[in-house]
Amino acid sequence: MAVAVIMPRQGNTVESCIITSWNKKVGDKVNVGDILFAYETDKAAFEEEAKVAGTLLKVLYEEGDDVPCLENVCVIGEPGEDPDAALAGGSAAPAAAGAAPAAAAAPAAQPAGNCTPVIMPRQGNTVESCVITEWHKAVGDTVAVGDQLFSYETDKAAFDCEAEVAGTLLAIFYEEGSDVPCLDNVCVIGEPGANPDAFRPGAEQPAPVVAPEAPAAAPAPAEELAEAPVTIGDLKISPRARKLAEEKKADLSKVVPTGPDGRVIERDVQALIDAGKVIGAAAATEVAAPAAAVALGVPCDDSYTEPMSNIRKVIARSMVASLSTMAQLTHNISYDATEVKNARAMFKAKGEPFGMDKISINDIVMYVVARTLMQPEHRAMNANLIDDGKTMKYFRGVNLGMAVDTDRGLMVPTIFNADKMSLKQLSDTAKQLARDCKEGKISPDYLQGASFTVSNIGSLGIESFTPVVNPPQTGILGVCAMKDAFRMVNGQIEVYPSMNLSLSYDHRAMDGTPASKFLRDLKNNLENFTLMLAKG
Amino acid sequence: MSKQLFVDPNERRASGYIHFEDIPVNQYKKTVKDEVGNFTKEQLVNIYRDMLTLREFETMINLIKKTGEYNGVAYNHPGPAHLSMGQEAAAVGEAFHLDVNDFIFGSHRAHSDILAKGLSAIEKLSDEELLDIMKNFLDGKTYEVIKDEPHESVKDIAINFLLYGAMAEIFARETGFNRGLGGSMHTFFTPFGIYPNNAIVGGSGTIAMGAALYKRVNRKPGIVIANIGDGSLGRGPVLEALNMAGMGQLTKLWEDDMKGGLPVMFNIVNNQYGMGGQTVGETMGYDMPARMGAGFNPNQMLAERVDGFNPLAVIEAYGRKKKLLLEGKGPALLDVVTYRFAGHSPSDSSSYRTKEEIAAWEAQDPIPEYRRQLIEAGVATEAECDAIVEKVNASIFRNFKLAIDEKISPRMDLAANPDAIADLMFTNGHVESFGAPGQKCDVNMTIEENPRVQAIAKKERWGFEKDGKLVSKNKVYQLRDGLFEAIIDRFYKDPTLVSYGEDVRDWGGAFAVYRGLTEALPYHRLFNSPISESAIVGSAVGYAMAGGRALVELMYCDFLGCAGDEVFNQMSKWQAMSADIIKMPVTLRVSVGSKYGAQHSQDWTSLTAHIPGLKIAFPATPYDAKGLMAASLAGTDPVVFFESQRIYDVGEQFHEGGVPADYYEIPFGKADVKRPGKDVTILTFGAVLYRALKAADELKDKYGLEAEVIDARTLVPFDYDCVIESVKKTGRLVIVTDACERGSFASEVARQVTEMAFDYLDAPPVVVASRNWITPAHELEEAFFPQPSWIIDAINAKILPIPGYENTTDQSLAKKLSNESKGV
Ligand SMILES: Cc1ncc(C[n+]2csc(CCOP(=O)(O)OP(=O)(O)O)c2C)c(N)n1
Ligand SMILES: [Mg+2]
């Protein structure tokens, strides 16, 4: 079928563009992606690529012509086809261009049949793009609702994308390993034979053809709209609906607007939430990577390569950056954990009615760390060294990073404003964040912004280690195992619980003495935990 | 109307002539020599001193305006300066016989009037009284500045106080008479009987008449003077005041010691010009302003022309007129011939008059002429006169330097105290009675004996029968009964309370709110005013300024424009312009019509809400009407109290247990949730409440939506808290008003709520208002005023599409844009 190519509208203020050169002439074969012609506005120059393959059947404007935006410029089709058929149906002949209504042109590539594009979801406000790690379906495969289409990850977390419509996978626009801008179309599902090209990223979206006499607000029935995903940038949404969506992490890409003039209103977001369409939900079922078994004792040159997962690449990058850009060193200290241990025992024994029986030693350490960091003399420890080491950014609250081990690797979610939390709040928050990380639900928004980090590998029995500072932070505290220690009291040997703390810090940000003082104060505070708790 | 006065057709149809008395013109011809025996030397000399003081004061301002300095001291005064050089004899002559019980109200050109009146008051007050006044005024701030200035007597201190207080006020200093909030055109000092001066030409006409009404009704000593220009006689409100001051009932119907025309003098400062318009021969037809008096009442307002270039002529006239006014023979009109030597203001190049004309008047300058007469009569020597000149000039110069000193005379510090003026906009007082101690309420019977009170006692105070049906109109306690109860209650508590308006007596008000008040009150507390909306409101303002409480009314909201200046500039502004020295306990009832077409059906609440300084109420239920009226009548602020003629007869449908018989108040600024709901908030103003409730019923019954209906009750102050709380819950707001949409207060609330609760809104707040048209005939009104269906249309089209609902009106953007492009 012959298809007309229009002059795109380059921005709202542009009325027309000048064709600067033709790269094809009538009769030439055209492949998808071939440059048809170049054109410019008074501000910038562009090239128009073919979106369909075929033969250039007709050219309506010559080089140097000033073409009103959305006007037909040329026609591509099968040799012998009547090019004017593509121009019929409303678009004015160029002779009458001056008087033609600007929006009457037919779109370049109408989706044939019923197609639904699948977008790359936006996982949190700060994420710009995601990398596709694996395709689970190939073009031509049939897809049922709920089938996994592809897996993808950000630099902080991994996710799966499930199909929300059934059909055939018609097109894949991005291969494994591609870094896909959020909200871009990734693939298209539809009826076999339908043309998915209109959804190819960068393709002109078919402009809705609005009959001029049509009543202004004739909302389409909800069922028809139900499956069409929404591009969030264009979303008309009420402030209240937006607020609710943000609070409940509703996935606005799936919203069906029912408000006046297609506005998304509160009830539409509520419908999403009720249907469980919230960001992060799809990633709940994660396939654990199978462990490769290698027979021991058999000489083996049988090896295989595997690309590093994105998350490992990120960890690798930041660890190397940390060790190569910073002057890092570690101090160790131990403290008498009697009070901490007793408190923990007490929470466990009597805390249940208060929901406080799960408060861990690590929660207690973090609670005390947050408060010790707030002592004004330790501000360099609760800071970021930014700007190529030229600027210190001090925080007026503690955003406490917390190292969490997950199947996918190390993750460091942040407990924001930890210094303002009660022990219970802090503990609850830490548990929630750890759970979200392990389940792959964590929003990337929580994987950033820390001013100091605590890493605890004490449960593995580690007695001392060198934690690596997360740039641009200036310090990280390693929490080690608790063990019995001995001391002489009045000539008697006394046993007491002791715990090691390993503090790595950036010598560029502070010297050894202040760092040592921080450790000393932390030790004192932990040994007087009850007082710290009372102080709040 | 009054049945006492028989309108006899034989008398009215009889033939005859109207006879006029001769109006004296400049009959007084004496000089100082002729009067020596009638005045003390001190009095005669002080007349000279006073005229000099006025002249030098104005000269000082003229010089700083024109040359930027006075006696070599630079100062820039950017504000207004309407100077009165040439008019000193008129001012000093007027003030001579006046004491602190006599009040003057003036114009934009009032410096000479206030100084002359102040100097006269100082002469008449004892040292103790003067010290008391000065020390207590503004916590002694003004007194502190001048108390140690050179003086030989307490009177000298008081003169410094007067000069300094006036100058500091003109220069907008916080130590000025009104903390610098009045300025040149509004400087006044009530302890000396100097009352507000008005920048609205003729504004003081109605106000002074109202102050005279206060003196009469409350048996206060003294007379009231309106100093207004020859140009101001062209203004309608002035003519209304001339008439109302001498309306027939004062002599025919008012009883006993209340009888007689009001003790008010319309003192026409006839300086021959408006700004540039010559009154005689160009803009007015009177030829002589004194002629005007002849038309207003049989005693011709005691009208007379006097020579305002001769202080003795004015003194003589005031001696006679004051006596007549105190005898109840007023009102009076005096045409005081004078001339202003300088321009209307310093920027005036006097292009409308010749140099020869100015020179001819200057040749007869009253000040050198009077000095000549003093010396000729042997009252003072040249040297004595020179000494007075020197003393006066030195005193003006000293006070000038104090008044422009930024440290001694700072301006209000609005940076340090940004709310300083905001806090003066309302006085927010609660005063049971403005009466003097022991002052009795003049009433004709006890409340219990009142026939209306007895009738109301039999009424059903709760609007529903046991079976849920509405109680019949004849049995139910109506909104008008609520108003009546609050009003009659205050009449028995505050002896100063008066009420008047058109057809309030006998008739009982056009809408029967006052039925029963006629029986309760003598004429002087409840009377029919002339059809003079400006005078009704303006006189109430004057009544309040003088110290009383007034309840006045406009029969229809549509007549608000007729009282525009009085509502918008007078009622609203004087508390703040006086730094709250003046209170404005005036309640203006305004009845909003329907059924009566384009000029009798308009809701103009928005116009009044736009004006800073007015409190605005619009109750919709008997309970609210009674409580808000009670609060208005116990307060100290000006209230415009709107009532809807659609609902004077509704019973109480919301306040469980019905309208309490006991006294209670409903505070301003508290909206009322008339029906709770969770899906959409409908905010209403006034009678439209009932249409909103109908819409709420339909939303619930047919579409399962629960509307929360909020009745604003007051527009100023407005209860945003209540609306925002509701919007937080519902996320949706429709605002309904009978006012035309464009510029309505509903639109104002929509904008404010959008700002204040943006994140809670699920749709923009939508206004459902009357069309931007004329109000058509009653039969067509449904196309004009908001209907219940319009409210649902608005919700469906703009807020929350309702499945299965079809709009009854065109809610499209295209329609709206087309209307707007047509200006409708
Ligand atoms: C209602 C109103 N209209 C117009 C003006 C502008 N205006 C200020 S003074 C003035 C002339 C007033 O003449 P007159 O009443 O004779 O007083 P005079 O200035 O002569 O003292 C005019 C027109 C005003 N202030 N108020
Ligand atoms: Mg004049």
DSSP of B337-352: E---SS-SSTT---TT
Q: Within a domain: residue B780?
A: yes
What pLDDT sits at residue A46?
82
Instruction: Residue B376: give its domain's CATH number.
Output: 3.40.50.970
Q: Within a domain: residue B665?
A: no
Nearest CA in chain B to A215: B812
pLDDT one-digit tens code per residue, A495-511: 999 999 999 999 999 99
Find out whether the beta carbon of B107 lies less than 6 Å from any atom of ligand 1.
yes
Determine the longest span between alpha carbons in chain B, in angstroms. Answer: 102
What pLDDT sits at residue A233?
61
Q: Give the closest residue to A457 by CA, choosing from A435, A477, A479, A474.
A: A479
Is the model's pLDDT at A455 over the cut of 50?
Answer: yes
- Do B688 and B600 belong to one domain? no
Which residue minimizes the CA distance to atom 22 of ligand 1?
Answer: B275
Is the Cβ pair A239, B813 closer than 8 Å?
Answer: no
B823 near B742, Cβ under 8 Å? no
Quote the CA–CA distance of A106 and A180 in Å, as a whole number. 29
If one counts every other C-beta atom within 10 angstroms of the C-beta of residue B321, the result is: 23
What pLDDT sits at residue B60?
97
Q: In what order do the strands lie in the sheet with B766-770?
A: B672-675, B707-711, B680-684, B733-740, B766-770
Instruction: Residue B762: give its domain's CATH number.
Output: 3.40.50.920
Nearest CA in chain A to B806: A218
What pLDDT sits at residue A82?
85
Chain B residues with at least one Cβ partner in A under 8 Å: 731, 758-763, 797-801, 812-814
- Do B144 and B43 belong to one domain? yes
Q: What integer best gives the mean pLDDT of chain B?
A: 96
Sign of the dihedral defined by the CA atoms of residues B733, B735, B741, B746, in that order: negative
Is the model's pLDDT at A110 over the cut of 50?
Answer: no
* Chain A residue numbers touching B761 (CB-CB < 8 A): 238-240
* Chain A residue numbers touching B806 (CB-CB < 8 A): none
Residue B430 a catalytic site member: no
Last-in-domain residue among B386, B405, B424: B405
Is the model's pLDDT at B627 over the cut of 90?
Answer: yes
Is the Cβ pair A238, B797 closer than 8 Å?
Answer: no
* Residue B271 CA, closest ligand 1 atom number: 20
Using DSSP, state whether B803 is helix, strand or coil: coil
Q: How far is the CA of B81 from the centre of ligand 1 (A)?
A: 13
* Chain A residue numbers touching B763 (CB-CB < 8 A): 238, 259-260, 263, 265
What pLDDT sits at residue A108?
41
The four Cα atoms B370, B374, B375, B381 give a dihedral, to 10 degrees, of: -110
What pLDDT sits at residue A299?
62
- Do B640 and B676 belong to one domain? no
Nearest CA in chain A to B815: A216
Q: A477 to each of A101, A389, A468, A518, B87, how far by Cα in Å?
A: 68, 21, 9, 11, 90
Q: Within a domain: residue B14?
A: no
Range of the domain at B499: 448-644
Distance of CA A483 to the CA centre of its chain: 41
Is the Cβ pair A263, B763 closer than 8 Å?
Answer: yes
Q: How confident is the model at residue A283 (pLDDT cuts 50, 70, 90)?
A: very low
Q: How confident is the model at residue A231 (pLDDT cuts 50, 70, 90)?
A: low
Quote the CA–CA distance of B69 and B16 in Å, as a whole number. 65
Q: Within a domain: residue B429?
A: no
Rounded to a whole number, what is the distance in Å from the CA of A46 to chain B's nearest CA? 36
- Quick one: which H or E segment has residue A477? strand A475-489
Is the Cβ pair B812, A216 closer than 8 Å?
Answer: yes
Is the model's pLDDT at A104 over the cut of 50?
Answer: no
Q: Which of A264, A265, A268, A270 to mutate to test the interface with B (most CBs of B within 10 A)?
A: A265
What is the domain count for chain B?
3
Is the model's pLDDT at A97 over the cut of 70?
Answer: no
- Do B687 and B636 belong to one domain? no
Which one of A193-197, A207-211, A311-315, B511-515 scores highest in mean pLDDT? B511-515
In percent, the amount of chain A with pLDDT more than 70 equals: 84
Is the Cβ pair A265, B812 closer than 8 Å?
Answer: no
Q: How far is the CA of B430 from the centre of ligand 1 (A)?
A: 37
Q: How far is the CA of B697 from the centre of ligand 1 (A)?
A: 56
Rounded to an integer, the average pLDDT of A70-97 is: 71
Q: Within a domain: residue B430?
A: no
Rounded to an integer, the average pLDDT of A119-127 is: 76
pLDDT one-digit tens code per residue, B300-329: 999 999 999 999 999 999 999 999 999 999
Closest-approaching ligand to the CA atom of B235? 1
pLDDT one-digit tens code per residue, B649-708: 999 999 999 999 999 999 999 999 999 999 999 999 999 999 999 999 999 999 999 999
Is the Cβ pair A240, B759 closer than 8 Å?
Answer: yes
Find out whether the beta carbon of B229 lies less than 6 Å from any atom of ligand 1.
yes
What pLDDT sits at residue A230?
55
Is the Cβ pair A239, B758 closer than 8 Å?
Answer: yes
Size of interface A-B (CB pairs under 8 A): 42
Find out whether the beta carbon of B788 lies less than 6 Å from any atom of ligand 1.
no
Choose the residue to mutate in B207, B269, B275 for probing ligand 1, maximizing ligand atoms within 8 Å of C-beta: B275
- Do B567 and B468 belong to one domain? yes
Is the model's pLDDT at B428 over the cut of 70?
Answer: yes
Rounded to an integer, the average pLDDT of A345-354 is: 89
- Do B268 and B365 belong to one domain? yes
- For A385, the token pair is 């060294």
Which residue minimizes the CA distance to atom 17 of ligand 1?
Answer: B229
Q: How far is the CA of B269 from the centre of ligand 2 (A)?
A: 7
- Do B456 and B397 belong to one domain? no
Is the model's pLDDT at B798 over the cut of 50?
Answer: yes
Quote the CA–CA distance of B59 and B70 in Å, as a whole number. 9
pLDDT one-digit tens code per residue, B168-191: 999 999 999 999 999 999 999 999
Q: B25 to each of B87, B286, B335, B800, how far by Cα in Å?
A: 18, 14, 9, 77
Rounded to an integer, the average pLDDT of A518-526 is: 94
Nearest CA in chain A to B728: A240
Partner residue facing B762 (CB), from A216, A217, A266:
A266
pLDDT one-digit tens code per residue, A187-226: 999 888 888 888 888 765 444 333 334 333 333 333 333 3
Using DSSP, state whether A530 is helix, strand or coil: helix
Q: Which of B679, B680, B762, B815 to mutate to test the interface with A (most CBs of A within 10 A)?
A: B762
Quote the CA–CA distance of B682 and B730 in Å, as a whole number. 10
Q: Give the closest residue to B27 by CA, choosing from B338, B320, B306, B312.
A: B306
- Do B401 and B513 belong to one domain? no
Q: How far is the CA of B119 from the centre of ligand 2 (A)?
A: 24
Is the model's pLDDT at B254 over the cut of 50?
Answer: yes
* Chain A residue numbers touching B814 (CB-CB < 8 A): 216
Which residue minimizes the CA distance to atom 4 of ligand 1?
Answer: B201
- Do B624 and B703 belong to one domain? no
pLDDT one-digit tens code per residue, B63-89: 999 999 999 999 999 999 999 999 999
Q: Give the closest residue to B200 by CA, choosing from B173, B171, B242, B231.
A: B231
A425, β-bridge pairs: none
Which residue minimizes the CA distance to atom 12 of ligand 1?
Answer: B274
Find out whether the beta carbon of B232 lies less than 6 Å from any atom of ligand 1.
yes
Of the candidates B82, B344, B600, B655, the residue annotated as catalytic is B600
- Do B161 and B294 belong to one domain? yes
Q: How far is the CA of B232 from the centre of ligand 2 (A)?
A: 8
Last-in-domain residue among B644, B661, B692: B644
Contacts of B132 (CB under 8 A, 6+ apart): none
Q: Within a domain: residue B679?
A: yes
ipTM over 0.90: no
Rounded to an integer, the average pLDDT of B114-139 is: 97
> Could you tell me which residue, A476 or B348, shows the higher pLDDT?
A476
Partner residue facing A216 (CB), from B760, B801, B813:
B813
In percent, the amount of chain B with pLDDT more than 70 equals: 100
Q: How confident is the model at residue B2 (pLDDT cuts 50, 70, 90)?
A: low
Rounded to an integer, the average pLDDT of B522-533 is: 98
Q: How far is the CA of B201 from the centre of ligand 1 (A)?
A: 5
pLDDT one-digit tens code per residue, B366-418: 999 999 999 999 999 999 999 999 999 999 999 999 999 999 999 999 999 99
Is the Cβ pair B762, A238 closer than 8 Å?
Answer: yes
What pLDDT sits at residue A281?
59
Question: Looking at A433-437, A445-449, B353-357, which range is the least confident one?
Answer: A445-449
- Do B682 and B580 belong to one domain? no
What pLDDT sits at residue A224?
37
- Do B596 and B727 belong to one domain? no
Quote the CA–CA distance of A164 and A162 in Å, as a whole number. 6
Find out whether the beta carbon of B112 lies less than 6 Å from any atom of ligand 1.
no
pLDDT one-digit tens code per residue, A150-194: 988 877 677 888 888 888 999 999 988 888 888 888 999 988 888
Query: Which domains are assigned to chain A?
Result: 3-199 (2.40.50.100), 222-307 (4.10.320.10), 323-535 (3.30.559.10)
> Could you tell me which residue, B485 or A117, shows the higher pLDDT?
B485
Q: Within a domain: residue B653?
A: no
Q: Within a domain: residue B414?
A: no
Q: A73 to each of A49, A83, A200, how far by Cα in Å?
A: 13, 12, 21
Q: B301 to each of B163, B226, B240, B280, B333, how far by Cα in Å?
A: 34, 14, 14, 21, 6
In percent, the amount of chain B with pLDDT more than 90 equals: 97
B478 near B490, Cβ under 8 Å? no
